[in-house]
Amino acid sequence: MTDYNFLIITGLSGSGKTTASRFLEDFGYYCMDNIPAKLIPNFVKLWKKKEFQIDKVAFIIDIREAGFVSEFPKILNKIRQELSPCVIFMEASDETLINRFSESRRPHPLTGEGTVIQNIQTEREQLKEIRSLSDEVIDTSKTTISDLKKLMSDRFLKKSRYRIQIMLVSFGYKYGIPLDSDLVFDTRFLPNPYYIDRLREKTGKDKEVLDYIYHSKKTKDYIKRLFEFIDYHLPHFIEEGKTYLTISIGCTGGRHRSVAVSDWLKEHLESKKYSIQITHRDIFK
């Protein structure tokens, strides 16, 4: 049975291996790019003995390593005596690879032995055996970055979709908008507990404050529309390939309204099974 916690990614230069490794890091993999293939069997032994705390690992290896073409099949056979890694071979059409090398202005690893197209075709021929040994082949010729991320998630993580990590931040406008905000919502038009003597020193965590803010029809309408807005956008962010999203909610001082609305939004999103972290940046200022 193929072990999707142990991936080996190889394939043609320019096919997207480095991009795929970045996605895998987002998925919790420990990724090593351009590692000598000869070192992998030693890593396997240590990994199986749990000598270090790495649950999921991905190696990116290719023709950049001297002797890769001739040595890797023997090394892979040795690895497969210990476990069943998932070997992913990535490729693309000649035309696509030529365009990518032209756009990136990076030389092909076989540069010096011919033109770009000749190098691509030579590499494709040399890697035929390794391609035949792979468990999965991914052609990225017509694949966008977001398509590749979804494909990696669906095929190798066995998830119907990859969950985005959401950070909620309540803040006070008087102290500045959080710099890493992706979405910013202004709640300064909602009823302000600051002007109620008995509520001024309390926070958006206190029941009296929550009751005061939510009692207004304006608040109820706003919360409903806010939830609808977020619910509509999140699936599209996920589809686009966004891994992290910071939603900042502000009021004047960051003590009452923004705290309450952030907590209500957190509860709503958790009911949708999203992964949420929350910070009340200015609650005690």
Q: Where are the domains of the chain?
A: 3-156, 165-280
**Model pLDDT, residue 51:** 73
Mean pLDDT of the chain: 88
Flag whether pLDDT at 244 surpasses 80: yes
**CATH classification for the domain delimited by 3-156, as one of 1.10.10.60, 3.20.20.70, 3.40.50.300, 3.40.920.10:** 3.40.50.300
Q: What are the DSSP calls for 121-156, one per residue?
A: HHHHHHTHHHHHT-SEEEE-TT--HHHHHHHHHHHH
For residues 49 and 73, the answer to whether their CB atoms sit within 8 Å is: no
* Distance between first and last Cα of the chain: 56
Cα–Cα separations (whole angstroms), residue 235 to 132, 245, 246, 247? 36, 12, 15, 15
Residue 47 binned pLDDT confidence (cut-offs 50, 70, 90) = confident
How far apart CA 85 and CA 61 sit, in angstroms, is 14
Flag whether pLDDT at 267 surpasses 70: yes
- Backbone torsions φ then ψ of 268, nearest 5 degrees: -65, -45
How far apart CA 261 and CA 265 sit, in angstroms, is 6
Tally of residues, the chain = 285
Whether the pTM exceeds 0.85: the reply is: no
Region of 159 on the Ramachandran plot (φ > 0 left; ψ -120 to 50 alpha; else beta): beta
Flag whether pLDDT at 162 surpasses 60: no
Q: Which residues pair with 11 in a beta bridge?
A: 90
For residues 257 and 189, the answer to whether their CB atoms sit within 8 Å is: no
CA angle 91, 38, 5 (to 5 degrees): 60
Tokens of 34: 């351009």
Query: 191: how many CB neighbours lie within 10 A of its CB?
Result: 17
Query: 177: how many CB neighbours lie within 10 A of its CB?
Result: 14
**Model pLDDT, residue 160:** 39
Lowest mean pLDDT across 5-9, 163-167, 226-230, 249-253 = 163-167
Lowest mean pLDDT across 155-164, 192-201, 245-254 = 155-164
Residues 6+ away with beta carbon under 8 Å from 231: 272
Strand runs (DSSP E) across the chain, as ranges?
Answer: 3-11, 30-33, 57-60, 85-91, 136-139, 165-172, 183-186, 244-251, 275-280
Pairing of strands 57-60, 165-172: unpaired
Flag whether pLDDT at 216 surpasses 80: yes
Percent with pLDDT over 70 in the chain = 95
3-state secondary structure of 32: strand
Query: 154: how many CB neighbours lie within 10 A of its CB?
Result: 13
**Model pLDDT, residue 159:** 46
Flag whether pLDDT at 269 surpasses 70: yes
**Model pLDDT, residue 45:** 85
